[in-house]
């Protein structure tokens, strides 16, 4: 049921890389015949060395999508390609794809060295030793090679898991919420280290996360998933500044959804005539980020609440019976109860076309 009676545009898949490393086509998976598919006709492509993220709320099918790509689950329909090779019916160990699990899944009884060597059993002992030392050097864990996983910090264990995944030289690694069990400070540092490592080694990656900030800062391109399907694909900037649907606009940070009547590059709205990022005609639903406003003391609007966040302030402001979330600089003197003027600085983005009243 769509209470706003809004039509959603289809995801922007136009920027599929010319020669992708990984290509997923129409992947579909249903666990129960009476339930909708958990992954529904999923298609995307990852360029060689590209860092890609699948972002979506809990339960939208991200992990299942990753497990289908890795071969831990069989799709009902669809295909997985690595370069020119169709992997769809290959077992996981023959796919040439690395996998880093959410809980690292290291072998507790094996040393760091043996954990990393695990996927290299086909190599001769001397080639295996050389490769493990090379990869441990790359992730900066050479001095810990004789330790067991429980003798390492969470961030170090994460790097062992990554080393084990990249040791066999995959073209792509799949990362399933790999930072979620680290505390906030360590998460940021480990994330930066892993990103830098992936870029240095030229391995493409697909990161699964429900954390929009993580996806925006880690990925070069990301796909927003909702209920098993892709809602939008693009660079972090594109998806944040030009969301195609109300869901994407709201999932990637806070926004204001405003009904309007578009007339080309402008729309008539309860906030007056607003400039549009792209021309449109007719009844539309617009997204305007909190940072798209300027707040001035004195005016018709009333400040309802003030949320101080250090680097900025977020206000909830009421005008003509509608509430808006507005960001201001931390020196803004406005307080709850104050009268203010809401000026719109940024163009509004059309996120849907309305077929009925809003
Ligand atoms: N093996 C399975 N059998 C039955 N249902 C499953 C199975 N695996 C996953 N599901 C269901 O599929 C849906 C999607 O699960 P999935 O783990 O892919 O979501 P997710 O987006 O990764 O969520 P989260 O962020 O919470 O990990 C959920 O409703 C889940 O209960």
pLDDT in tens, 296-333: 888 899 999 999 888 889 999 999 999 999 999 888 88
- Identify the residues whose C-beta falls under 6 Å from ligand 1: 31, 38, 56, 58-64, 210
pLDDT band at 8 (very low <50, low <70, confident <90, very high): very low
CA 334 to each of CA 272, 289, 324, 325: distance values in angstroms, whole numbers, following the listed order: 22, 19, 15, 14
Residue of minimum CA distance from atom 7 in ligand 1? 31
**Looking at residue 18, what is its pLDDT?**
62
> Do the Cβ atoms of 273 and 266 come closer than 8 Å?
yes
Strands 51-55 and 204-209: parallel
Q: Is residue 96 part of a domain?
A: yes
Query: How far apart are the CA of 64 and the centre of ligand 1, in A?
Result: 6
Q: Is residue 73 part of a domain?
A: yes
Residue 1 has pLDDT above 80, yes or no: no
**Looking at residue 276, what is its pLDDT?**
97
Residue 195: which CATH number? 3.40.50.300
Q: Mutate which of 28, 36, 38, 231 to test ligand 1's pocket (most atoms within 8 Å of Cβ)?
A: 38
Query: How far apart are the CA of 63 and the centre of ligand 1, in A?
Result: 7
Q: Which of 209, 243, 277 is the last residue of a domain?
A: 243
Which atom of ligand 1 is nearest to 63's Cα? 22
Q: Is residue 1 part of a domain?
A: no
Query: How far apart are the CA of 12 and the centre of ligand 1, in A?
Result: 25
Which atom of ligand 1 is nearest to 32's Cα? 4
Residue 180 has pLDDT above 90, yes or no: no
89 lies in the same domain as 228: yes
Q: Mutate which of 64, 68, 224, 251 to test ligand 1's pocket (most atoms within 8 Å of Cβ)?
A: 64
pLDDT band at 13 (very low <50, low <70, confident <90, very high): very low
Query: Looking at the 3D structure of the chain, how many domains does it have?
Result: 2
Q: Specify the higher pLDDT residue, 123 or 24.
A: 24
Quote the mean pLDDT of the chain.
Answer: 89
165 lies in the same domain as 64: yes
Query: How far apart are the CA of 39 and the centre of ligand 1, in A?
Result: 9
266 lies in the same domain as 231: no
Say which range, 48-62, 143-157, 266-280, has the weakest mean pLDDT.
Answer: 143-157
76 lies in the same domain as 185: yes
Other CB atoms within 10 A of residue 39 CB: 29
Distance CA(318)–CA(297), nearest Å, equals 14
**Looking at residue 355, what is its pLDDT?**
61
Q: Is residue 248 part of a domain?
A: no
The model carries a pTM of 0.87
Residue of minimum CA distance from atom 1 in ligand 1? 31
Query: How far apart are the CA of 228 and the centre of ligand 1, in A?
Result: 10
Residue of minimum CA distance from atom 28 in ligand 1? 59
Domain that holds residue 13: 6-243
Query: How far apart are the CA of 209 and the centre of ligand 1, in A?
Result: 13
Q: Give strand ranges (E) for 47-156.
A: 51-55, 77-82, 85-86, 97-100
Residue of minimum CA distance from atom 18 in ligand 1? 61
264 lies in the same domain as 233: no
CA 260 to each of CA 244, 272, 349: distance values in angstroms, whole numbers, following the listed order: 16, 9, 11
pLDDT in tens, 233-255: 999 999 999 999 999 999 999 99
CA 275 to each of CA 237, 261, 281, 296: distance values in angstroms, whole numbers, following the listed order: 20, 12, 13, 19
Q: Is residue 208 part of a domain?
A: yes
Residue of minimum CA distance from atom 3 in ligand 1? 31
Burial, 184: exposed, middle or buried (Cβ in 10 Å; 0-12, 13-18, 19+)?
exposed
């Amino acid at each position: 049921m769509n209470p706003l009676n809004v039509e959603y545009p289809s995801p922007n898949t136009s920027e599929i890389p010319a020669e992708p490393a990984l290509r997923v086509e129409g992947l579909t998976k249903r666990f129960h015949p009476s339930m909708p598919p958990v992954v529904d006709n999923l298609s995307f492509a990852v360029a060689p060395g590209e860092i890609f993220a699948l972002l979506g709320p809990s339960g939208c099918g991200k992990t299942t999508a990753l497990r289908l790509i890795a071969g831990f689950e069989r799709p009902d329909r669809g295909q997985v390609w690595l370069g020119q090779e169709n992997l769809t019916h290959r077992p996981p160990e023959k796919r040439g794809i690395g996998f880093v699990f959410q809980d690292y899944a290291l072998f507790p009884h094996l040393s760091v060295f043996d954990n990393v060597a695990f996927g290299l059993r086909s190599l001769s002992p001397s080639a295996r030793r050389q490769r493990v030392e090379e990869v441990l050097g790359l992730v900066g864990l050479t001095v810990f090679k004789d330790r067991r996983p429980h003798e390492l910090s969470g961030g170090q264990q994460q790097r062992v898991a990554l080393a084990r995944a990249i040791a066999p030289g995959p073209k792509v690694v799949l990362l399933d919420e790999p930072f979620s069990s680290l505390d906030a400070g360590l998460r940021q540092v480990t994330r930066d280290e892993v990103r830098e490592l992936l870029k240095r080694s030229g391995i493409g990656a697909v990161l699964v996360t429900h954390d929009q900030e993580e996806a925006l800062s880690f990925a070069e391109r990301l796909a927003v998933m909702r209920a098993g399907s892709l809602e939008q694909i693009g660079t972090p900037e594109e998806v944040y500044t030009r969301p195609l649907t109300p869901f994407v606009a709201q999932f990637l940070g806070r926004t204001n959804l405003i009904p309007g009547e578009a007339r080309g590059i402008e729309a008539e709205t309860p906030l007056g005539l607003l400039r549009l990022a792209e021309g449109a005609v007719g009844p539309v639903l617009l997204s305007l980020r909190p940072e798209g406003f300027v707040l001035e003391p004195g005016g018709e609007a009333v400040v309802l609440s003030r949320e101080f966040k250090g680097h900025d302030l977020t206000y909830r402001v009421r005008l003509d019976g509608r509430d808006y979330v507005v960001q201001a600089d931390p020196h803004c003197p406005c307080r709850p109860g104050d009268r203010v003027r809401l000026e719109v600085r940024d163009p509004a983005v059309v996120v849907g076309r309305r077929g009925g009243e809003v």
